[in-house]
A and B are shown apart, each in its own frame.
Chain A
Amino acid sequence: MRGASAVAAILKTRAGAPVRAFVVWEPVLWTDAFPPSGDVLACYVSDARATHWWDPNRSLSEEILRSPWTRKYPVRGGPLKIVWDWVACYPPGARWEANFPEPVVQEFPVVDSADRVRDWLGGAAAAVEPVP
């Protein structure tokens, strides 16, 4: 849950910034048989800018690893076919078309990525809504 806490902290720091967060939960360990409870969602990432997805068959991992850009450099969990504990950042204008889009910033583990993601988000959000 440290990763979820980190995401919550990033969003809290950038309160009011025009950002969307997609939080995809997937089973990785044997203890992950059940999706996160409503309490967990409420406690950790309750920000209205975040949406939550439960991916029991790790479909998104598969989709990400099918993208050509993942062969340029290692992506978290590549050899295991599980992209996990990973955060990807996309600027305005980035579009998901035939392949899952290449992020401008990708980091793992999430808990150690907070500063970089927060900094990137600050710049990206300011470009959308310049401070008067």
Chain B
Amino acid sequence: MSRSLPAFVFVLALVTLSCSKSHEGRWGRGGEPGKLARLDRTTLPALRDSFNAAIDRPRILVMLSPT
């Protein structure tokens, strides 16, 4: 068990690094197609503004989980 722990930690670090690399470049400031914008209490107004800015057309809002 004690021998396998460093290997496990190493693999975990690799997986974490791999995940973070694959996520590079996907963040946007909101309203950018193909980019993710972080949403929280402080950025909800950005979503609201984006929603209201498209008032001249139909809109759909979808809530999904990543898995």
Contacts and interface: CB of A to CB of B under 8 A. Distances in A.
Contact of A94 (B36, B48, B59): B59
Classify chain A's interface size: 35 or more
A57 B43 CA distance: 12
Interface residues of B, number: 38
Contact of A20 (B30, B35, B57): B57
A9 interface: no
A90 B22 CA distance: 34
B66 A96 contact: no
Given A37-B26, A38-B22, A51 B67 contact: no
B58 A125 contact: yes
Most buried by A among B24, B31, B50, B65: B65
Interface of A: 1, 3-4, 7, 10, 17-29, 31-32, 34-42, 46-57, 59-61, 63, 76, 83-96, 103, 110, 117, 120-121, 124-125, 128
Interface of B: 19, 22-26, 30-41, 44, 47-48, 50-52, 54-67
